[in-house]
């Protein structure tokens, strides 16, 4: 048996098209959603990611507001910009790219963002809303994982799900989303005893621990659906000295012969993160104007 590949690029493109169509439908009402992206410093990976976000925002018909600040920016300066964006009626969503320089308390910045514009879903208010099952913004990566799962299994009711990783950005919100889908959820982590055995009982396995190829093929239940969130650079001697390649948290070559469906790395979860950022921005724009959710806000096609 060879697993079905869950094509994150194609699914993300479909969602971006749906979102773009919804933005176009809102244009006659004078509504054009706006996303403000704040980048502090010159981290190369962050710069590439931010450029991609901005490009896809514009392609979806939204306005993109770029704020590039120097690495020496103080916390007070960044908080002042956040306050300005909170008050700007043209800005529906605010994203402050992480990580931030060491002189800035990231949590203080996250908490300063208006929860109604927190399209990253990191504000404690939105985290609490996810926990209590009330409307709020869900972090983009776990939301993308859920949409990928629904592309394979629209109904997750009753399934055993294991999430490896307990971060506030992926692991914890992913677990809450799966609970909301009526799964029986186990959250595993670096101190979980007998992790392979825990994984083997999972109908759905989400690996978000940040360890290259930690999950081996014989850790999987035959036919399981595997979502690999990991993006890890490892040496690639075959390509030359000093070269690297990207691998996930799952040993793909082993897992593909056991799983029923699996996301590749790259090309799986990554593209969905930006698609869900656009989705959250559109939703923020509609909420701020009292417009009802549209079909694009569902979690299935």
Task: Find the length of the chain.
Answer: 301
Please name the residue that has the structure tokens 């979980």. 192
118 is catalytic: no
Q: How far apart are CA 224 and CA 206, in angstroms?
A: 10
Catalytic residue among 53, 117, 172, 221: 53
Does the active-site annotation cover 120?
Answer: yes
Give, to the nearest 10 degrees, the angle between helix 269-288 and helix 44-59.
50
User: Which tokens go with 45?
Assistant: 């990976």
The alpha helices in the chain, defined as continuous H runs, are 8-26, 44-59, 75-87, 106-112, 124-132, 140-152, 171-180, 195-200, 252-255, 269-288
Phi first, then psi: what are they for 20, rounded to 5°?
-60, -40
Q: Indicate which residue of 92, 97, 118, 221 is catalytic.
A: 97
Q: Kind of pairing, strands 225-228 and 204-207?
A: parallel
Which of 268, 271, 222 shows the shortest CA–CA distance to 249? 268
For this structure, is 42 an active site residue? no
CA-closest candidate to residue 157, choices 132, 181, 126: 181
Catalytic entry in 92, 118, 120, 203:
120
Max intra-chain CA distance, the chain:
57
Tell me if 297 sits within 8 A of 81, measured CB to CB. Answer: no
| Residues with active-site annotation | 53, 97, 120
């Amino acid at each position: 048996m060879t697993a079905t590949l869950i094509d994150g690029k194609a699914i993300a493109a479909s969602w971006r098209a749906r979102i773009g169509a919804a933005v176009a439908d809102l244009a006659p009402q004078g509504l054009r959603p706006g996303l403000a992206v704040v980048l502090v410093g010159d981290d190369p990976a962050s710069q590439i990611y931010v450029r991609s976000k901005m490009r896809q925002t514009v392609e979806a018909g939204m306005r993109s507001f770029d704020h590039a600040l120097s690495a020496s920016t103080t916390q007070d300066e960044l908080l002042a910009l956040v306050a300005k964006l909170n008050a700007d009626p043209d800005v529906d969503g605010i994203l402050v790219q992480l990580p931030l320089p060491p002189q800035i308390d990231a949590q203080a910045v996250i908490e300063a963002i208006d929860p109604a514009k927190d399209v990253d879903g990191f504000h404690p208010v939105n985290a609490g809303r996810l926990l209590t099952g009330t409307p709020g913004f869900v972090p983009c990566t776990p939301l993308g994982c859920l949409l990928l799962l629904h592309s394979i299994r629209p109904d997750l009711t009753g399934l055993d799900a294991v999430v490896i990783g307990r971060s506030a950005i992926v692991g914890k919100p992913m677990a809450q989303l799966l609970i909301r889908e009526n799964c029986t959820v186990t959250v595993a982590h670096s101190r979980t005893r007998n992790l392979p055995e825990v994984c083997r009982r999972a109908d759905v396995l989400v690996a978000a621990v940040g360890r290259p190829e930690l999950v081996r093929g014989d850790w999987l239940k035959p036919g399981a659906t595997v979502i690999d969130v990991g993006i890890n650079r490892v040496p690639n001697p075959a390509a030359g000295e000093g070269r690297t390649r990207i691998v996930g948290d799952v040993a793909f070559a082993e897992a593909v012969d056991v799983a029923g469906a699996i996301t590749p790395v790259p090309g799986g979860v990554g593209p969905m993160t930006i698609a869900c950022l656009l989705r959250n921005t559109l939703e923020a724009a509609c909420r701020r104007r009292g417009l009802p959710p549209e079909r694009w806000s569902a979690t299935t096609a």
